[in-house]
Amino acid sequence: MGKDAIRVVGLGAYLPEHVMTNEEWSNYVDTSDEWITTRTGIKRRRIAAPDETTTDMAVAAASAALEDAGVSGQEIDEVIVATDTPEVFLPDTSSFVQHRLGIREVPAYEIGSSGCAGFIQALDIARARVHFGGGRILVVGVELLSRFMNWKDRNTCVLFGDAAAAAVVASAGEGGEILSAVAGTDGSQTGILTLEVGGTRKPFTLQAAQQGSHQNVVMNGREIFREAVRRMSEASLKVISDAKLTKNEIALVVPHQANLRIIEAVAKRLELPLEKFYINIQEYGNTGSASVPLALWEARGLGRISAGDIVLLTAFGAGFHWAAMLLKF
C-alpha cells in the first residue's frame, strides 16, 4: 500500500431482526417463492420493526464501523449519509446521525435519492475530502425501503429489504486502500426508475395518498436491466484500467445486489467467473444504498477477502447513476 494511501479502515452493518420469506408475500400479493426466485434470485429479506427508523439503523451500523476502526465518534471529522429513505423530509438524516453518535459539530450531509449507487459515490467523495483535508470520514448507506413501497404491487414490493452499513475512511489505519473510482449519470433516463409523487412536480396530496400513488415506484425492468449491465460493466473496466491492473488480478467483485440476473449478465460481460462475485441477494434482497457496503462487510467477515486482494465494487441506481471503485486490502 502507498504511503499516502486513503483506506476504508472500518466496516459495520445492521440488519433488522425480522426475516420475511418469499412465502410470506403471498399473504399480500399474488406471488410465490418460485415466481420471485426465478425472476430475481431473492429468497428472504429483512423488514424493520415498526418502531425502527432510518436513523436507528444508520447509527447501529455506524457504531459497528467505528468500533471496527478503533475510533470514537469524537474522532470523526465529517459524516456522509447515502439514503433514498430519509428520517424526515427536512433536515437530512446525517444531522440525526451526527447528534446520536455524539460527533463534534463537523460537516454532515446527505446524498439523497441517488439510488443504489449512492454509497460508492459517497465513498469517493470521502476519499477526496481526506486527500485534501485529512481526518476521518464516516460514510453510511441506509435504506428503510419497506416504509416507502406499495405492498400490493408484486413487481416491486418483493424486491426490497431494509438494512444499513457503514465505513470509516481515513489515511491513518489499516484496511482496503482506494485505488481508483468512477461515477456517472445519464439524466435522460430518469423515467426508468422513479417515485414521482412528493416533489414539486407532483406534490403529495390527500388524493395521492388515497390512491396510494405516493408509494408507486415506477420500474421499467427491461431498460433498467440493459442500462445496469452496460453501466456497471463499463465502470468496472474503467476503474481497473485507471489502476493499471487487469481483470485477472481482481480477487472479488462486490456488485450492487438488485437482481441475480443482472449480476450474472455483468459477470458474462466482464468475462469473469461468477464464483468471483460475492452474492447475498438471496438473503437480503435489494437494500439500496446499503447493498454494496453490506455485501463488502459480510464478505470480509466470512473470509472471502484476504491481505493483498483487489476488490471491485460496482453499482447502479435511479438517476440514472452508476459508480465503481477498486480497493486493495
CB 240 within 8 A of CB 299: no
Candidate list 157, 256, 259, 321, residue with the active-site label: 256
131 catalytic? Reply is no
C-alpha cell at 147: 416504509
Candidate list 116, 157, 259, 321, residue with the active-site label: 116
Q: E strand or H helix at 133, and its extent? A: helix 118-133
DSSP secondary structure code for residue 302 in this structure:
T
How far apart CA 149 and CA 151 sit, in angstroms, is 6
DSSP secondary structure code for residue 101 in this structure:
T
How far apart CA 226 and CA 221 sit, in angstroms, is 9
C-alpha cell at 153: 404491487
How far apart CA 84 and CA 235 sit, in angstroms, is 22
How far apart CA 275 and CA 64 sit, in angstroms, is 28
Give, in order, the Cα–Cα distances in Å from 155 to each of 96, 158, 310: 33, 7, 36
321 catalytic? Reply is no
Candidate list 22, 157, 259, 286, residue with the active-site label: 286
Q: E strand or H helix at 46, and its extent? A: strand 44-47
Cα 170 from chain centroid? 20
CB 118 within 8 A of CB 103: no
Which residues does residue 314 pair with via DSSP β-bridges, in sequence order?
Answer: 255, 324
216 catalytic? Reply is no
The three-class DSSP label of residue 73 is helix
DSSP secondary structure code for residue 272 in this structure:
-
- Buried b / exposed e over 62-97, threshold 16 CB at 10 Å, is bbbbbebbebebebbbbbbbbbbbbbeeeebbbbbb
Nearest to 161 by CA among 255, 40, 45, 83: 45
How far apart CA 303 and CA 1 sit, in angstroms, is 20
Q: Return the active site residues.
A: 116, 256, 286
